Amino acid sequence: MMNFDFTPEQEMLRQTVRKFVDKEIMPYIKEWDERGEFDRNIFKRLAELNLMGVCIPEEYGGMGMDYNSLAIVCEELERGDTAFRTAVSVHTGLNSLTLLQWGTEEQKQKYLIPQARGEKIGAFGLTEPNAGSDVASIQTTAVRDGDDYILNGQKTWISLSDIADHFLVFAYTDKSKKHRGISAFIVERTMPGFSSRPIKGKLGIRSGNTGELFFDNVRVPKENLLGEEGEGFKIAMSALDNGRFTVAAGAVGLIMACLEASVKYCHERKTFGKEIGRHQLIQQMIARMEAGLQISRLLVYKVGFLKNEGRRCTRETSLAKWIACDYANKAADDAVQIHGAYGYSNEYPVERYLRNSKAPVIYEGTREIHTIMQAEYVLGYRQDKPLRKTLPAWRPAEN
| Tally of CB atoms within 10 A around 145 | 12
DSSP 253-275: HHHHHHHHHHHHHHHH-EETTEE
N- to C-terminal Cα separation, the chain:
24
Residues linked to residue 66 through DSSP beta bridges, in sequence order: none
Catalytic residue check, 364: yes
d(CA 245, CA 250): 9
For the chain, state the CA radius of gyration.
21
Burial call 176-208: b when 16+ CB within 10 Å, e when fewer = eeebebbbbbbbbbeeeebebeeeeebebbbbb
Sheet strands (E) in the chain: 122-125, 141-145, 148-159, 166-172, 182-188, 194-198, 210-221, 225-226, 270-271, 274-275
Please say whether the beta carbons of 233 and 180 come within 8 A: yes
d(CA 350, CA 340): 11
| Tally of CB atoms within 10 A around 89 | 30
Nearest to 236 by CA among 129, 120, 103, 95: 95
280: left (phi over 0), alpha (psi -120 to 50) or beta: alpha
Backbone angles phi, psi at 378, to 5 degrees: -65, -40
d(CA 268, CA 173): 60
d(CA 77, CA 87): 10
User: How many residues are given for the chain?
Assistant: 399
Given the residues 364, 368, 376, 398, the one annotated as active site = 364
Amino acid present at 303 = V
372: left (phi over 0), alpha (psi -120 to 50) or beta: alpha
- Enumerate the active-site residues: 364
